[in-house]
Amino acid sequence: MATYSFNTTGSITFLVADISASQSTTWNIIQSAPGTSYFTLETIPNNNGFYTTSSVKGCSGSFTISSGIINLVKDDYKMSAVVNQGGGQITFVPSQYVSSSQMYVKGVG
């Protein structure tokens, strides 16, 4: 399992992470400023850092969240969560994954 740390404090930040079709990922999300922030995982099927609406998307699976992560919303290609001050952890276990995809991560402080 790959583990990543991601700090949502500050301006919008982007991170691209290559993972295989069956690899679970754990995201340690840091929110050190008072208040909340937003954390989003998306798939990029065309593997070049941009969404192409005509590209086939698909990244269904399950998420496990710790305290500090609230309002998790997901569909087959995107997950968004609100992170309380202090942060939390999200683990994603894919059930299917688009070939040659990347996980595209955005945190908004």
Give pLDDT tens digits for 27-41: 888 888 888 888 888
Beta-strand pair 36-44/78-84: antiparallel
Residue segments in the chain with a per-residue pLDDT below the cut of 50: none
What DSSP state is assigned to residue 82? E
What DSSP state is assigned to residue 40? E
Q: For 44-56, how does the pLDDT look when each residue is reduced to its tens digit (9 = 90+)?
A: 655 555 655 555 5
d(CA 39, CA 31): 10
Domain of 51: which CATH number?
2.60.120
Q: How much is the pLDDT for 45?
A: 59
- Please tell me the total number of residues recorded for the chain in this structure: 109
| Range of the structural domain that residue 98 is part of | 2-108
d(CA 18, CA 85): 28
Count of structural domains within the chain: 1
